[in-house]
Amino acid sequence: MTIVWTVNAENPRPEDLREAASLLAAGQLVAFPTETVYGLGANALSSAAIDRLYQAKGRPRANPLIVHVADLESAKTICSVWPDTAERLARAFWPGPLTLVLPHCGAIPSGVTAGGETVAIRVPGHPVALELLRLAGVPVAAPSANPSGGISPTLGEHVLEGLDGKIAGLVEAGPCSRGVESTVIDLSGTHPVLLRPGPLSPEEIAQVLGSDPEALLPSADKRKQGPEKSPGRMGRHYAPKAQVVCVQSEAEARACCAVWQQQGKRHAWLALQPGPGTILLPATPAEAMRSIYKVLHKIDKDLIGFLVVQLPNAEGRWLALRDRLLRASLND
């Protein structure tokens, strides 16, 4: 059975979180809210807890985990180097939706890092996550709290839909404010590289680094440096059960729907501009990110088998949403 603790999101009382924190420290799996999505927490110092985590999610062992810590000082203790770029980004964005990849110092079991030489770390910007981390007193590995490959949870009920009975507990505190997974920046190479777009755009990151946003993008990096090592960037991900087709124009979306209609297939059309019969996403990047997974969960619930999505443009603030929709449309 999964224990559910419902707590105040803004001002969680330590007594509300003590039991969850002690289960976490003891190696049990506890899901908790962050500002991005709900994470499935496991004590990052315990190989047994990490094994349980991969098992519960059905996650491929080659996909490394993000380690969550309560503050910048704790982050430093896990890394073998702490470059000026890390200091600047951490000071600008932590606690917040930014993950930094750095060389690790060997303190974390290899299961967390998928056997690699780097570790991904962040200080989450959610009062409940921070209090839980402080009380647990250990670094906590926390991928999204859903079966691997599926839609990330942004509400407690989403966590239970996928993992009820498979995890020890869930701390529930309402919706996640950002709604998509953190921006991941690799600082282990010769210059910073964006590994995963997220709530913080390349422009926001580049501004702090005093660099050009284009230089952060992996394609630009490959042109300069040759292929970069980046574990864990799997194919199909963030996907509803529906088959997802991404298109650019309204005409293409309309054509898809016409075919499905003719074939008698249950389908939907997701768009950023209003149109006949569309499911409308909010028009600003922040709002669209906040609601995308809730919308996809609802599409699953409504047993929609086919979904056409009109992609946002490739501009920086829309990159994360574009990335998630494109990955949802891959076949494997």
Question: Which stretches of the chain bind Mg ion, using CB under 5 A?
Answer: 144
What are 308's strand-pairing partners? 245, 269
Which residue, 65 or 272, is less far from ligand AMP as judged by CB? Answer: 65
The Cα angle at residue 37 between residues 36 and 40, in degrees rounded to 5: 125
Three-state DSSP state, 303: coil
Tokens for 75? 């982050």
Which residue, 35 or 186, is less far from ligand AMP as judged by CB? Answer: 186
User: Among residue numbers 79 through 118, which ones bind ligand AMP (CB under 6 A)?
Assistant: 101, 113, 116, 118
Contact (CB, 8 A) for 37 and 176: yes
Residues 49 and 302: their CA atoms lie apart, in Å, by 35
Residues 186 and 190: their CA atoms lie apart, in Å, by 10
Which residue, 30 or 119, is less far from ligand AMP as judged by CB? Answer: 119
Q: Does 181 bind ligand AMP (CB under 6 A)?
A: yes
Closest by CA position to 328, among listed 257, 41, 163, 304: 304
Which residue, 22 or 47, is less far from ligand AMP as judged by CB? Answer: 47
Radius of gyration of the chain (CA): 20
Minimum separation from the CB atom of position 79 to Mg ion (A): 23
User: Among residue numbers 49 through 78, which ones bind ligand AMP (CB under 6 A)?
Assistant: 64-66
Minimum separation from the CB atom of position 321 to ligand AMP (A): 16
Which residue, 78 or 271, is less far from ligand AMP as judged by CB? Answer: 78
Three-state DSSP state, 167: coil
Strands 98-103, 118-122: pairing is antiparallel
User: Among residue numbers 237 through 296, which ones bind ligand AMP (CB under 6 A)?
Assistant: none
Q: Does 195 bind ligand AMP (CB under 6 A)?
A: yes
Q: What is the largest CA-CA distance in the chain?
A: 60
Q: Does 196 bind ligand AMP (CB under 6 A)?
A: yes
Minimum separation from the CB atom of position 128 to ligand AMP (A): 18
Q: Return the one option of Mg ion, ligand AMP, none that residue 233 interacts with (CB less than 5 to 8 A, by type).
A: ligand AMP
Tokens for 175? 């919706």
Residue ranges in contact with ligand AMP by CB under 6 A: 64-66, 101, 113, 116, 118-120, 143-144, 181, 184, 186, 195-196, 230-233
